[in-house]
Amino acid sequence: MKIKVCGLREPENIKAVAALKPDYMGFICYGRSPRFIDALSADALATIPSTIHKTGVFVNETVDNINLLIDKYGFDTVQLHGDESPEFCSTFKNKVKIIKAFGVDNDFDFGKLNNYANNVDYFMFDTKTSGYGGSGKIFNWDILNKYTLDLPFFLSGGISLDNLDEIKKISHPQLYAVDLNSRFETEPGVKNIEKLEKAFDIIKKQNIKDEIRS
């Protein structure tokens, strides 16, 4: 299982998280988020190893602005967390990897994903709220059994040290990564390195067990 740490914005904290070697690091390019990177210098991301996917997170942004920030920060992945259409998502297909996020509740219609399947590389399932993510709340993970497409997905929404063991019980073959954000912070946009170290240890030990079983 891959690890994504999202919502980073402070240069020293970015360095500290990069040293943990997550698979993805997410930077929120959405002005209404408390984790908005705002005028963060591109230099703050320049030293992130190429083995870590630098991910720009956008909500209903324009194509021009997304392309501008891809070039500025060197993003190789974009996470589209708003109401973007399949056609909009496909705009970036030959430039970066695309994660399309959806807010999920018990009434979520997984059928709506069919039109996205050929236009994105991954889905992300987050907890449905009145906003766009960052709620720190989990949804009913049992509903993931209704997802039948072959596209891998990220699991987001309220993941913490308290429920990582529950994620081990999710047997869905397309579960690709976990997204660690608000439950691993000392304040919005600043990650608690000690908590992340514990989470990485739990996840990596589980990965080793899975490899042995396979």
DSSP codes joined into one string, 77-90:
EEEE-SS--HHHHH
Task: Quickly count helices (H) and strands (E) in the chain.
Answer: 6, 10
- Stretch 158-172: mean pLDDT: 91
213 pLDDT tier (thresholds 50, 70, 90) = low
**Residue 89 pLDDT exceeds 70:** yes
pLDDT value of position 211? 65
Percent of the residues in the chain that have a pLDDT greater than 70, as a whole number: 94
Q: What is the pLDDT of residues 9-64, one digit of tens each?
A: 999 999 999 999 999 999 999 999 999 999 899 999 999 999 999 999 999 999 99
pLDDT value of position 205? 85
d(CA 174, CA 190): 30
Closest C-alpha among 183, 134, 160, 143 to residue 34: 134
**Residue 167 pLDDT exceeds 80:** yes
pLDDT value of position 135? 59
**Residue 74 pLDDT exceeds 60:** yes
143 pLDDT tier (thresholds 50, 70, 90) = very high
d(CA 162, CA 183): 10
d(CA 48, CA 19): 9
Residue with tokens 């695309």: 98
209 pLDDT tier (thresholds 50, 70, 90) = low
**Residue 122 pLDDT exceeds 60:** yes
* HSE (side-chain half, CA atoms, 13 Å) at 163: 19
pLDDT value of position 129? 75
pLDDT value of position 30? 96
Measured from the Cβ of residue 115, the count of other Cβ atoms closer than 10 Å reads 12
Beta strands in the chain (DSSP E): 2-6, 24-28, 53-58, 77-80, 97-104, 122-127, 153-155, 175-180, 185-187, 190-191
Closest C-alpha among 28, 19, 24 to residue 2: 24
DSSP 22-68: -SEEEEE--TTSTTB-TT--THHHHTS-TTSEEEEEESS--HHHHHH
Specify the length of the chain in residues: 214
More confident residue, 132 or 49: 49
